[in-house]
Structure 1
Amino acid sequence: MGYQQPAGFDRSRGYVIGKKDVTLEHLEEAYTSENWLVRIFKVKKPANRPTIKYQQRHIKSWRPLKVSKKGKSKRGIIKGRPLVIKGKRSSSPSSSSSSASH
């Protein structure tokens, strides 16, 4: 490397950095500075994936189910829904008997 120092010697820290016997599966070393302070890697193309040509890629298109428009014009009714009038108390038998006893 220079200055009679081993490869990967960090002059600012004063020792050899990095693991020596490393094999990278998914990355490839693109650039390493002289003192290993800057390292840039590039991603390798995956070897275990078969490439599929663009014309052979078929994706099923999604179509919504046809819904009849017959019942859309009618308003829905919730059965058993209590009718609430603003400013009036509900006329349930349990609430009137409990207030009269106190």
Structure 2
Amino acid sequence: MAPTALALMRSRYSAYVMDNGAYLQATWHASTRAAEQIVAEAGLKWLGLDVRRHETEGDSAIVEFVARYKIDGRAHRLHEVSRFVREPDVAGVSRWFYVEGSFPEKG
């Protein structure tokens, strides 16, 4: 269980690297969770994660990051601001969940 939203962000990145869709589903807030399990696109390779900022206010947090990946021989960057909330899970234990991400405008 991740003690902070930042730790959850890093663990979710690791889950993407390891193609662990079950973990991604379990750490995704029920209100926005995808219905189908996340499966890596064939040939996709994650190359690195750069956390730009993280801010926590009470039971809400944001983490801005850039993740680099390669697919079909081409490198790409995913720049996202992710939103997290801390609340009890089904067992009543307080934990962080990923809610959603937005993509900052290039400027």
The question of a shared fold, defined as TM-score above 0.5 by the shorter chain, is answered with no
Higher RCO (CA 8 Å, separation ≥ 6 residues): 2
More strand, by proportion = 2
Bigger Cα Rg? 1
Task: Kindly indicate which of the two structures has a greater share of residues assigned to helix.
Answer: 2
